[in-house]
Structure 1
Amino acid sequence: MATDTSFATRRRGDLFDRLLELLLAEGFAQFGVADLAARLRCSKSTLYTLADSKEQLVAKTVTHFFRSATEQVEARVAQESGARAKVIAYLIAVGDALSPASDAFMTDLHGHAPTRELYERNTAAAARRVGELIADGVATGEFRDVNAAFAADLAASMMSRIQRRDVAATTGLDDAQAYRQLASILTTGIDAAGG
């Protein structure tokens, strides 16, 4: 019985991965469930085993995306030592995790209330995580005694602008470049040796 459950779990994960790849590349507003099933070469009933409606299917897929991205980002942070290296790794890993998202996906994400809410919650969680990393650096003396919540809020504001493609429009930087710049400016600004 455990083997059947394990297979079903792997199959669902694979289907979510394939669906996510499609949505990241092309967005989701223009697709109906029949379109998604045709593109994924599965039946509509197979998709309905994942969710009861297109709205739920998109929300679950976006949740899957953010969960996978968080795991990737945290794995990168775990490889680093020192607060500065961890903050830099975190911000660059966020940029890397989001790099597969096309403009169409980001437009649909922002234009659809449930997915926009998921995005906002994940950005808030990222800001809290950056705040924790900065607070750790303040505690160890690696960073100046700055308000970690403010520094995290500053980072979150820029992260939102990067993800909305505002930074690309105003500076020409792609997301990965923008995250590297944010990491450099933020960590240099709070570095204990610099201030």
Structure 2
Amino acid sequence: MERLVRPDLTPRRVTLFDALVDLFLSRGFAHLTLEDMASRLRCSKSTLYTLADSKEQLVRVATVHFFRRATEDVEARVAAESGARERITAYLSAVGVALGAASDRFMSDLDAFAPAREVYQQNTHIAARRVQELIDEGVAAREFRSVHAGFAADLAATMMVRIQQGGVRAATGLDHAHAYHELAALLTAALSDGTHDATRV
């Protein structure tokens, strides 16, 4: 496995790494050289090499860092909620907020660069499993209908992959952030609808 982030990073370099991620999110990365990155971050190229061994690895580790940072924020939002409906809404909405920080250029560059795209795909699958867990928790607590809970989780997973692949945007015009907000609203409304007979097909 390739080295991602060196364990001996100083606080200054951790801050630099965060700044690099923010640079990529706002401006993309395909057109940036190492010289461009160093200039914008006001550091030397040798400092960038303390984060990764090449531009390609730097982009990949920055993408990993973005999703790790986003996961911490998302889970903090979920932990602040108690009800199943609120937790799923918080989770998907927070994912949408995290992706909302990414510019169209970043998302386009990410899709065109296989190593970074794979990181996004992996995190999409992880997020889908997390939604399944939240649905199962809601069913166990009798806050959600048990009928179609498995289908709802699979539907969420399918839509999350479709959002990641750009199909939702092509079909509806919704960007990643707004698509996640819509998914949260539809999913929780369907699971929480207590006006229907649970045995009805």
- Asked whether the two chains share a fold, i.e. TM above 0.5, the reply is yes
1:152 aligns with 153
Match of 2:126 in 1: 125
* Residue identity matched to 1:54: K
Query: Which residue identity lines up with residue 160 of structure 2 in the other structure?
Result: M
Counterpart in 2 of 1:193? Answer: 194
Partner of 2:3: none
Change (3 A) 1:43 1:124: same
Deviates more, 1:67-76 or 1:172-181: 172-181
- 2:63 corresponds in structure 1 to 62
d(CA) in 2 for partners of 1:49 and 1:8? 8
Provide the residue aligned with 1:109 in structure 2. 110
Q: How does 1:67-106 map to 2 (within 5 A)?
A: 67-106=68-107
Deviations 1:23-74, CA, capped at 9 Å, x for gaps: 0111111122122111211110000011111111111111110000000000
Residue 161 of structure 1, CA deviation: 3.3
Distance 2:160 2:27 in 1: 22
The CA distance in 1 between the partners of 2:165 and 2:187, in whole Å, is 20
Residue 29 (structure 2) aligns with: 28
Counterpart of 2:143 in 1: which secondary structure?
A: coil
Measured in 2, the distance between the counterparts of 1:87 and 1:147 equals 16
Residue 164 of structure 1, CA deviation: 4.6
Query: How far, CA to CA, are the matches of 1:155 and 1:98 in structure 2?
Result: 17
Distance 2:178 2:88 in 1: 15
Deviation at 1:149, TM superposition (A): 4.8
Question: What SS does the corresponding residue of 1:42 show, helix, strand or coil?
Answer: coil
Pair 1:19–1:149, CA change in 2 (3 A): farther
Q: Deviations over 1:121-172 (max 9, x none)?
A: 1001100100000000111111111455542332133223334554344334
Deviates more, 1:94-103 or 1:139-148: 139-148
Give the percent of matched residue pairs that are identical in Structure 1 and Structure 2: 61
CA offsets, 1:2-21, max 9 Å, x none?
xxxxx953212211111111
Matched residue count:
190
Return 5+ residue gaps in structure 1 as ranges: 1-6
Structure 1 residue aligned with 2:139: 138
Superposition CA RMSD, Å: 2.1
Tell me if structure 2 keeps the 8 A contact 1:188–1:194.
Answer: no
Q: Which amino acid aligns with 1:99?
A: G
Distance, in Å, in 2 between the alignment partners of 1:122 and 1:149 is 20
With normalisation by structure 1, the TM-score equals 0.88
Partner of 1:183: 184
Question: Alpha-carbon deviation of 1:115?
Answer: 0.7
Normalization by structure 2: what TM-score?
Answer: 0.86
Which residue of 2 is the match for residue 3 of structure 1?
Answer: none
Determine the C-alpha separation between the residues in 1 that align with 2:90 and 2:195. 20
Task: Measure how far apart 1:86 and its partner are.
Answer: 0.4
Unaligned residue ranges in structure 2 (runs of 5+): 1-7, 197-201
Out of 51-60 and 176-185, give the one that drifted further.
Answer: 176-185
